[in-house]
Amino acid sequence: MIVFDLLCGGGHRFEGWFSSADDYASQRERNLLQCPDCGSGEVHRVPSAARFNLGAEQPKPAPMPAKTADMEGKDPFAIAQMLYSRMLDTILTKTEDVGRDFADEARRIHYEEVAARPIRGQATQAEHDALIDEGIPVARIPLPPADQLN
Ligand SMILES: [Zn+2]
């Protein structure tokens, strides 16, 4: 089954479940698709909600490194570990460690009191929640202790 986000001529958004893209096309051709809110048969597929930029600034997940040739033939768990350690490498080399000052520094950057730059550091749950409440985009990733980083 696949799910398409659909939009009727009246602007109602709803989900349609189909066995395939062909199934969707065929139902649409035969006018079997109807808006559940207003019954309109004028139904179009729209990009999935996850891909909509709603205008608000949202934290971007760290880019996942691409799978590479040395991962061929490895089991999925080993591949996941390799991808994870490469993602950590990227984060550790591209960000400045501000340690326990993370919440204060993130706030200064957000309010443009200091130059914007990628930072990492530690924040308590309360500090994290406060940043989110203020609309400051922060992402949390689990980091192994420093002595295990290599
Ligand atoms: Zn409608």
Give pLDDT tens digits for 61-85.
Answer: 555 566 777 777 788 888 888 888 8
On the question of pLDDT at 33 being above 50, the answer is yes
Q: Which of 2, 1, 11, 18 is nearest to 44 (CA)?
A: 11
Average pLDDT, integer, range 129-147 = 78
Contact in structure between 104 and 138 (CB atoms under 8 Å)? no
More confident residue, 43 or 137: 43
Cβ contact 99:124 at 8 Å: no
User: Cα(10) to centroid of ligand 1, in Å?
Assistant: 5
pLDDT at 63: 56
Which pLDDT score, from 0 to 100, does residue 1 have?
75
- The answer to whether 64 and 87 are in contact (CB under 8 A) is yes
| pTM of the entire predicted model | 0.45
Q: Would you state the structure tokens that stand for residue 89, as one six-digit string?
A: 């490498």
21 alpha carbon – ligand 1 mean position (Å): 22
Tell me what the pLDDT averaged over the chain comes to: 80
Whole-number Å distance, alpha carbon 41 to ligand 1 midpoint, is 8
